[in-house]
Amino acid sequence: MEQQTVIQPKHASTGTGDGPANSLLRFGSGKVTPLSLSPAMTWFGEVVGTFARGGCYLLAGAPGSRKSGLAMQLALDLARWGSRVLIVATEEPAARLRERAGRMTSHWSPDEARLALSNLQVETNIVGVESLPALVGRNILTPGGAYHGIDLLILDSIQGHGLPSSASGRYEKLYEATRLCGSAGLTTLLISHVTKRNEIAGPRALEHNFDCVLVLKRTMSHRMLFVPKNRHGPTVLRDPLPLVLDPVSLVLNPAPHGRAMTAVARTWLGTGTGGVSELQCSVGLASFGSRGKVLAPGMPRKEIEQLIACIGQMPGVEIGDLDFAIHARLPGGGRYHHAAGLALAMSLLSSYLQRPVPKENLYLCEIDLCTNVRNVPVDIVVELGPELYTGAIDLPVRLIVPPDAAALLPSDKDIELLPCKSLQQAMHLTWPELR
């Protein structure tokens, strides 16, 4: 009978000790403990996975993206329930922070607002990030320190004292401060600028020193929250969370219609194309770190790009870094015509604004590079008149046309003529609430 050999591990564990020095048995499980956010901020916890106690977070964005506002929103949410928060302000005076906090808590009860503000502490006397380790060691981690016992440290911002990307020694001090906080179970949230190329300002190693990196981008009425790096949850690159700004409290909340919407606008290109045609568009943010692109099969690309640039001239419309998917449903195999310019522009705006175009609207205008309406060929307008009574076009209908074309078309209780001179006027005729 063959004898079986049993090989004993060289350092077999008896189950009673922690193994040799530095074995993994000697280390904790690394279980993450979350900071408790209120139901109003549940969306933030869902985006980052876990807002971890002892975690190190970087929040970046361009001016106007509301990165400081979001940081204050988080601070107030924690302070409202008894947590203490320290804001190290390198760019704004304490009085301005108080004003912002007061506006954000204007809809709270007086007792809740007072408790939250009493738990927010502000430090404005640091001379640069190189002094952060001393601040953390002396005033935060030392019992009896002015800020001992805080749960969240916010630095607004890293570049507040003019910190260049090449100042590697000063950035090392920044990393040292965050490591000290993390080892003590203190969460840190650092705010950073972005460059003109929409890259996070600072050296390449900056992002590697954070558990989670968040980026806020601004589009017309929305802020888009990306998460390109996350050790405590999923990354969010292709499908960012859209946020809307409350006009009274300046608080960010998830947008009610945040996903890309395919929009449709109708036009008339003459009986030779089969009658009514549809322009379908979908506008969405490009993936994180990439440039926007235009997908418009079978359509004149240069003309489409000029039209998109034209739309971007309108006040408040920011269309940089967007993806455009454009399709023209032209019956009878017809080709795109300049007369569909306004319909195409309204379809793009509809998807961008997340507002559907009323189904009774029909647009028949060209658009020039100054966003003005131009006349369409007279034969197309003349053909449209009789077709309004043949059933080829569903009634009632609202015709948005140039003033000259309006003079050639009939009008009755089911046919409303709306002369139009500009793209902005067409937008207001379509969505009067945007005036």
> For the segment 339-370, what is each residue's pLDDT rounded down to a tens digit?
899 999 999 888 888 889 999 999 999 998 88
Residue 322 to residue 218: CA distance in whole angstroms: 11
Position 107: which residue type? H
The reported pLDDT for the residue numbered 347 is 92
pLDDT averages per 10-residue partition of the chain, 435 residues = 54 57 68 88 91 96 94 96 96 95 95 96 92 96 96 95 89 96 96 91 92 88 88 86 90 75 90 82 70 78 83 72 75 75 91 89 92 92 92 93 94 95 94 88
According to CATH, the superfamily of the domain at 34-254 is: P-loop containing nucleotide triphosphate hydrolases (3.40.50.300)
DSSP line for 210-276: -SEEEEEEEETTEEEEEEEEESSS--EEEEEEEEEE-TTT--EEE-TT-S--EEEEEEE--GGGTSE
CATH class of 262-434: alpha beta
Separation of alpha carbons 401 and 260, rounded Å: 28
Each domain of the chain, given as residue ranges in start order, spans 34-254, 262-434
Contacts of 257 (CB under 8 A, 6+ apart): 354
Cα separation, 60 vs 295, in Å, equals 30
Q: Cα separation of 31 and 42, whole Å?
A: 21
Q: State the pLDDT at residue 272.
A: 74
Distance of alpha carbon 206 from the chain centroid: 22
Contact of 406 with 373, CB cutoff 8 Å: no
Residue 332: the pLDDT is 59
pLDDT tens column, 106-144: 999 999 999 999 999 999 999 889 999 999 999 999 999
Supply the pTM of this predicted model. Answer: 0.65
